[in-house]
Amino acid sequence: MIKESSSGSIRTLILSNEKLSVKILAGKGGDINQITYLPEQAELLHTEDENFARYDSRDLRTNPLSRYSEDSTGGWQDVVPGYGRYGSLVFQEFPVGTAATLPWDYQTQTAAGGDTRKEEEVNLSVQLPEFPLFMKKQIRLEDETLIVTETIRNEGGEPADFTWTQHSAFGGSFLDEQVEISYPGEEIFLSSLYAGQGGKKEEYLKNICSVPMPDGTIWNLKNMREPGQDGHLIFTMKAETGDFSLYHKDRKFGFRVTWDKQVFPYIRCWYQNTEDGYSFAIEPCNYAYSSFADTDKENMYLHLDAGEEMSTEIRLSIIHENKG
Protein backbone atom coordinates (compact mmCIF):
# COMPACT_ATOMS: atom_id res chain seq x y z
CA MET A 1 0.00 0.00 0.00
CA ILE A 2 1.21 3.53 -0.80
CA LYS A 3 -0.19 6.66 0.82
CA GLU A 4 0.74 10.22 -0.07
CA SER A 5 0.71 13.14 2.35
CA SER A 6 2.81 16.10 3.46
CA SER A 7 4.94 17.08 6.46
CA GLY A 8 4.98 20.86 6.24
CA SER A 9 6.02 21.61 2.66
CA ILE A 10 7.66 18.20 2.26
CA ARG A 11 5.83 15.69 0.07
CA THR A 12 5.74 12.36 1.96
CA LEU A 13 5.03 8.78 0.89
CA ILE A 14 4.22 5.82 3.13
CA LEU A 15 5.05 2.44 1.56
CA SER A 16 3.78 -0.48 3.63
CA ASN A 17 2.78 -4.13 3.75
CA GLU A 18 1.68 -6.30 6.70
CA LYS A 19 5.18 -6.33 8.21
CA LEU A 20 6.91 -3.05 7.39
CA SER A 21 6.01 0.61 6.99
CA VAL A 22 8.49 2.98 5.35
CA LYS A 23 8.16 6.77 5.43
CA ILE A 24 9.83 8.41 2.41
CA LEU A 25 10.47 12.14 2.08
CA ALA A 26 10.13 12.66 -1.66
CA GLY A 27 10.14 16.41 -1.04
CA LYS A 28 13.44 16.32 0.88
CA GLY A 29 16.34 14.30 -0.44
CA GLY A 30 14.33 11.16 -1.14
CA ASP A 31 15.18 10.35 2.51
CA ILE A 32 13.89 7.22 4.20
CA ASN A 33 12.72 9.01 7.32
CA GLN A 34 11.36 6.04 9.28
CA ILE A 35 11.11 2.25 9.11
CA THR A 36 8.56 0.61 11.42
CA TYR A 37 8.38 -3.13 12.09
CA LEU A 38 4.62 -3.42 12.44
CA PRO A 39 4.23 -6.67 14.47
CA GLU A 40 6.26 -5.05 17.27
CA GLN A 41 5.33 -1.42 16.50
CA ALA A 42 9.07 -0.77 16.65
CA GLU A 43 10.55 2.30 14.99
CA LEU A 44 14.06 1.48 13.79
CA LEU A 45 15.46 4.88 12.74
CA HIS A 46 16.50 7.91 14.75
CA THR A 47 14.46 10.92 13.66
CA GLU A 48 14.34 14.61 14.55
CA ASP A 49 10.65 15.25 13.98
CA GLU A 50 10.74 18.65 15.68
CA ASN A 51 12.60 20.01 12.64
CA PHE A 52 9.70 19.39 10.26
CA ALA A 53 8.23 22.69 11.43
CA ARG A 54 11.19 24.46 9.79
CA TYR A 55 9.81 23.40 6.39
CA ASP A 56 6.33 24.85 6.84
CA SER A 57 7.15 27.80 4.59
CA ARG A 58 10.36 26.67 2.86
CA ASP A 59 10.30 25.47 -0.75
CA LEU A 60 13.44 23.42 -1.35
CA ARG A 61 13.12 23.83 -5.12
CA THR A 62 13.85 27.54 -4.82
CA ASN A 63 15.60 27.55 -1.44
CA PRO A 64 17.56 24.29 -1.07
CA LEU A 65 19.50 23.33 2.03
CA SER A 66 23.19 24.26 2.21
CA ARG A 67 24.21 20.72 3.20
CA TYR A 68 22.60 17.42 4.11
CA SER A 69 22.66 18.05 7.88
CA GLU A 70 20.97 21.46 7.84
CA ASP A 71 17.62 21.29 9.67
CA SER A 72 17.99 17.51 9.74
CA THR A 73 14.90 15.37 10.19
CA GLY A 74 17.06 12.27 10.76
CA GLY A 75 16.52 8.86 9.23
CA TRP A 76 18.49 7.48 6.27
CA GLN A 77 19.94 9.89 3.72
CA ASP A 78 22.10 9.69 0.60
CA VAL A 79 25.13 11.91 1.22
CA VAL A 80 26.41 12.33 -2.33
CA PRO A 81 28.57 14.00 -3.39
CA GLY A 82 30.12 14.39 0.05
CA TYR A 83 33.64 15.31 -0.91
CA GLY A 84 34.38 15.38 -4.62
CA ARG A 85 35.90 16.85 -7.77
CA TYR A 86 34.29 17.71 -11.08
CA GLY A 87 36.35 19.85 -13.45
CA SER A 88 37.31 22.97 -11.49
CA LEU A 89 34.59 22.34 -8.88
CA VAL A 90 35.84 20.94 -5.57
CA PHE A 91 33.67 19.97 -2.59
CA GLN A 92 36.20 20.11 0.24
CA GLU A 93 35.11 22.20 3.23
CA PHE A 94 32.70 19.56 4.58
CA PRO A 95 30.61 16.70 3.16
CA VAL A 96 27.91 18.55 1.23
CA GLY A 97 25.53 15.77 0.24
CA THR A 98 23.65 17.77 -2.39
CA ALA A 99 21.28 14.87 -3.11
CA ALA A 100 19.84 15.20 0.41
CA THR A 101 19.21 18.94 0.10
CA LEU A 102 16.73 18.87 -2.77
CA PRO A 103 13.22 17.59 -3.52
CA TRP A 104 13.09 14.50 -5.74
CA ASP A 105 10.59 13.67 -8.47
CA TYR A 106 8.67 10.48 -7.86
CA GLN A 107 6.33 7.90 -9.34
CA THR A 108 4.50 5.12 -7.55
CA GLN A 109 3.62 1.67 -8.83
CA THR A 110 0.69 0.06 -7.07
CA ALA A 111 -0.40 -3.54 -7.13
CA ALA A 112 -2.75 -4.36 -10.00
CA GLY A 113 -6.32 -5.01 -8.89
CA GLY A 114 -5.45 -4.16 -5.29
CA ASP A 115 -3.60 -7.46 -4.81
CA THR A 116 -1.28 -6.52 -1.92
CA ARG A 117 0.71 -9.74 -2.35
CA LYS A 118 2.21 -8.22 -5.47
CA GLU A 119 5.06 -5.76 -5.22
CA GLU A 120 4.46 -2.07 -4.88
CA GLU A 121 7.29 0.38 -5.28
CA VAL A 122 8.30 4.01 -5.17
CA ASN A 123 10.63 5.37 -7.86
CA LEU A 124 12.43 8.65 -7.21
CA SER A 125 14.89 10.69 -9.26
CA VAL A 126 16.82 13.95 -9.10
CA GLN A 127 19.29 15.89 -11.25
CA LEU A 128 21.94 17.54 -9.11
CA PRO A 129 23.05 21.09 -9.97
CA GLU A 130 26.74 22.00 -10.32
CA PHE A 131 28.01 18.47 -9.75
CA PRO A 132 26.17 16.92 -12.72
CA LEU A 133 25.00 13.60 -11.29
CA PHE A 134 21.58 12.15 -12.10
CA MET A 135 20.23 9.78 -9.43
CA LYS A 136 17.45 7.21 -9.41
CA LYS A 137 16.21 5.35 -6.36
CA GLN A 138 13.71 2.48 -6.29
CA ILE A 139 12.23 1.50 -2.91
CA ARG A 140 10.15 -1.64 -2.52
CA LEU A 141 9.12 -4.22 0.07
CA GLU A 142 9.20 -8.01 -0.01
CA ASP A 143 7.63 -9.44 3.15
CA GLU A 144 10.06 -8.45 5.96
CA THR A 145 12.70 -6.95 3.66
CA LEU A 146 13.18 -3.39 2.45
CA ILE A 147 15.05 -3.20 -0.88
CA VAL A 148 16.64 0.03 -2.10
CA THR A 149 18.15 0.04 -5.60
CA GLU A 150 20.07 3.13 -6.69
CA THR A 151 21.68 4.33 -9.92
CA ILE A 152 23.99 7.31 -10.41
CA ARG A 153 24.89 8.62 -13.88
CA ASN A 154 27.43 11.31 -14.74
CA GLU A 155 25.52 13.68 -17.02
CA GLY A 156 28.48 16.02 -17.47
CA GLY A 157 31.19 16.21 -20.10
CA GLU A 158 34.08 15.52 -17.69
CA PRO A 159 34.93 12.74 -15.21
CA ALA A 160 33.36 12.95 -11.76
CA ASP A 161 35.06 11.78 -8.55
CA PHE A 162 32.94 11.74 -5.39
CA THR A 163 32.26 10.14 -2.05
CA TRP A 164 28.94 8.49 -1.24
CA THR A 165 27.62 7.63 2.21
CA GLN A 166 24.43 5.81 3.16
CA HIS A 167 23.75 8.01 6.18
CA SER A 168 21.55 5.62 8.18
CA ALA A 169 20.97 6.49 11.85
CA PHE A 170 19.22 3.96 14.08
CA GLY A 171 17.25 4.65 17.25
CA GLY A 172 13.55 5.09 17.81
CA SER A 173 11.67 2.73 20.11
CA PHE A 174 13.96 -0.16 19.06
CA LEU A 175 17.31 1.05 20.37
CA ASP A 176 18.31 0.57 24.02
CA GLU A 177 20.96 -1.18 26.12
CA GLN A 178 19.57 -4.61 25.18
CA VAL A 179 20.71 -4.21 21.56
CA GLU A 180 23.68 -6.25 20.31
CA ILE A 181 25.56 -5.11 17.19
CA SER A 182 27.39 -7.33 14.68
CA TYR A 183 29.91 -5.49 12.52
CA PRO A 184 31.60 -6.35 9.20
CA GLY A 185 35.00 -6.38 10.92
CA GLU A 186 36.81 -5.99 14.24
CA GLU A 187 39.28 -3.11 13.83
CA ILE A 188 38.09 0.49 13.96
CA PHE A 189 39.79 3.78 13.06
CA LEU A 190 38.98 6.80 15.24
CA SER A 191 38.67 9.00 12.17
CA SER A 192 37.29 12.14 13.81
CA LEU A 193 39.99 12.22 16.50
CA TYR A 194 42.67 11.67 13.84
CA ALA A 195 41.28 14.52 11.73
CA GLY A 196 41.37 16.84 14.73
CA GLN A 197 44.65 15.81 16.37
CA GLY A 198 46.84 14.28 13.66
CA GLY A 199 49.82 12.05 14.41
CA LYS A 200 50.38 8.45 13.40
CA LYS A 201 47.35 6.68 12.01
CA GLU A 202 48.15 3.46 13.84
CA GLU A 203 47.62 5.27 17.15
CA TYR A 204 43.94 5.60 16.25
CA LEU A 205 43.37 1.92 15.47
CA LYS A 206 41.37 0.07 18.13
CA ASN A 207 39.44 -3.19 18.50
CA ILE A 208 35.66 -2.86 18.54
CA CYS A 209 35.60 -4.80 21.82
CA SER A 210 37.76 -2.23 23.66
CA VAL A 211 36.88 1.26 22.50
CA PRO A 212 37.92 4.39 24.46
CA MET A 213 34.63 6.19 25.06
CA PRO A 214 34.13 9.97 25.43
CA ASP A 215 33.63 9.61 29.21
CA GLY A 216 37.06 7.98 29.58
CA THR A 217 35.86 4.40 30.02
CA ILE A 218 36.63 1.41 27.76
CA TRP A 219 33.61 -0.28 26.23
CA ASN A 220 32.75 -3.21 23.97
CA LEU A 221 30.73 -1.47 21.25
CA LYS A 222 29.11 -4.73 20.23
CA ASN A 223 26.66 -3.75 22.97
CA MET A 224 24.78 -0.49 23.36
CA ARG A 225 25.18 1.37 26.64
CA GLU A 226 22.28 2.57 28.78
CA PRO A 227 20.87 5.93 27.76
CA GLY A 228 22.74 8.61 29.64
CA GLN A 229 25.19 11.34 28.84
CA ASP A 230 28.52 9.75 28.01
CA GLY A 231 29.17 11.59 24.75
CA HIS A 232 29.60 11.34 21.02
CA LEU A 233 32.06 9.14 19.10
CA ILE A 234 32.83 8.81 15.37
CA PHE A 235 34.85 6.00 13.80
CA THR A 236 35.24 4.06 10.57
CA MET A 237 35.85 0.39 9.78
CA LYS A 238 36.98 -1.47 6.69
CA ALA A 239 34.17 -3.85 5.77
CA GLU A 240 35.39 -7.44 5.58
CA THR A 241 31.84 -8.44 4.67
CA GLY A 242 28.96 -6.41 3.26
CA ASP A 243 26.61 -6.69 6.21
CA PHE A 244 25.88 -5.63 9.78
CA SER A 245 23.04 -6.33 12.18
CA LEU A 246 21.35 -4.97 15.30
CA TYR A 247 19.48 -7.44 17.50
CA HIS A 248 17.33 -6.80 20.59
CA LYS A 249 17.98 -9.58 23.11
CA ASP A 250 14.77 -9.13 25.11
CA ARG A 251 12.39 -8.56 22.20
CA LYS A 252 14.08 -11.32 20.18
CA PHE A 253 14.15 -9.59 16.82
CA GLY A 254 16.35 -7.17 14.96
CA PHE A 255 17.49 -6.41 11.45
CA ARG A 256 20.38 -7.06 9.10
CA VAL A 257 21.58 -4.63 6.44
CA THR A 258 23.44 -5.99 3.39
CA TRP A 259 25.17 -4.14 0.56
CA ASP A 260 27.84 -4.44 -2.16
CA LYS A 261 31.17 -3.81 -0.44
CA GLN A 262 32.81 -3.19 -3.81
CA VAL A 263 30.81 0.06 -3.88
CA PHE A 264 30.90 0.73 -0.13
CA PRO A 265 34.11 -0.84 1.26
CA TYR A 266 33.86 0.98 4.62
CA ILE A 267 31.33 1.82 7.28
CA ARG A 268 31.23 5.15 9.09
CA CYS A 269 29.76 4.97 12.58
CA TRP A 270 28.70 7.61 15.04
CA TYR A 271 27.54 6.86 18.52
CA GLN A 272 25.47 9.50 20.30
CA ASN A 273 24.45 9.22 23.93
CA THR A 274 23.86 12.79 25.09
CA GLU A 275 21.07 15.10 26.17
CA ASP A 276 20.54 15.80 22.45
CA GLY A 277 19.68 12.20 21.62
CA TYR A 278 20.35 8.47 21.83
CA SER A 279 21.26 6.88 18.51
CA PHE A 280 23.79 4.79 16.65
CA ALA A 281 24.55 5.30 12.97
CA ILE A 282 26.18 2.64 10.81
CA GLU A 283 26.75 4.06 7.33
CA PRO A 284 28.12 2.09 4.37
CA CYS A 285 30.46 4.43 2.49
CA ASN A 286 33.44 4.45 0.14
CA TYR A 287 36.02 6.35 2.19
CA ALA A 288 37.76 6.00 5.56
CA TYR A 289 38.53 9.55 6.66
CA SER A 290 36.78 12.54 8.20
CA SER A 291 38.76 15.09 6.19
CA PHE A 292 38.92 16.09 2.55
CA ALA A 293 42.74 16.25 2.63
CA ASP A 294 43.20 12.58 3.53
CA THR A 295 40.36 11.44 1.28
CA ASP A 296 41.79 13.37 -1.67
CA LYS A 297 45.39 12.33 -1.01
CA GLU A 298 44.50 8.64 -1.08
CA ASN A 299 42.01 9.12 -3.94
CA MET A 300 39.16 7.51 -2.02
CA TYR A 301 36.55 8.39 -4.60
CA LEU A 302 34.00 6.64 -6.71
CA HIS A 303 34.78 7.52 -10.35
CA LEU A 304 32.41 7.97 -13.27
CA ASP A 305 33.53 9.03 -16.72
CA ALA A 306 31.29 11.31 -18.75
CA GLY A 307 28.05 9.43 -19.49
CA GLU A 308 28.99 6.48 -17.26
CA GLU A 309 26.61 5.11 -14.62
CA MET A 310 26.70 2.70 -11.71
CA SER A 311 24.00 0.86 -9.77
CA THR A 312 23.88 -0.78 -6.37
CA GLU A 313 21.37 -2.40 -4.00
CA ILE A 314 20.96 -2.26 -0.22
CA ARG A 315 18.63 -4.49 1.79
CA LEU A 316 17.32 -4.24 5.33
CA SER A 317 15.77 -7.50 6.53
CA ILE A 318 14.10 -8.30 9.83
CA ILE A 319 15.81 -11.16 11.70
CA HIS A 320 14.45 -13.34 14.51
CA GLU A 321 17.67 -14.79 15.83
CA ASN A 322 21.13 -13.33 16.26
CA LYS A 323 23.70 -15.32 14.32
CA GLY A 324 26.49 -12.84 15.09
What is the tens place of the pLDDT at every residue in 166-209?
Answer: 999 999 999 999 999 999 999 999 887 777 777 788 888 899 99
**CA–CA separation, 308 and 137 (whole Å):** 17
With b for 16 or more beta-carbon neighbours within 10 A and e for fewer, the 73-90 pattern comes to bbbbbbbbbbbbbbeeee
**CA–CA separation, 254 and 240 (whole Å):** 21
Average pLDDT over residues 267-283: 93
Residues 6+ apart with CB under 8 A from 171: 43, 45, 46, 47, 74, 277, 278, 279, 280
Residues 6+ apart with CB under 8 A from 195: 289, 290, 291, 294
pTM to 2 decimals? 0.93
Specify burial of residue 66 (Cβ count, 10 A radius: 0-12, 13-18, 19+).
exposed
* Conformational region of residue 100, where left means phi above 0, alpha means psi within -120 to 50, and beta covers everything else: alpha
Q: Is the peptide bond before 129 cis (omega within 30 degrees of 0)?
A: no
Note the pLDDT of residue 272: 93
Tell me how far CA of residue 113 lies from CA of 18, 109, 136, 140, 168, in angstroms.
Answer: 18, 12, 27, 18, 34
Note the pLDDT of residue 324: 57
Q: Which domains does the chain have, with CATH numbers?
A: 2-319 (2.70.98.10)
**Of 151-155, 199-203, 268-272, 273-277, the least confident:** 199-203
Which H/E stretch holds residue 303? strand 302-304
pLDDT tens digits, 26-76: 999 999 999 999 999 999 999 999 999 999 888 898 899 999 999 999 999
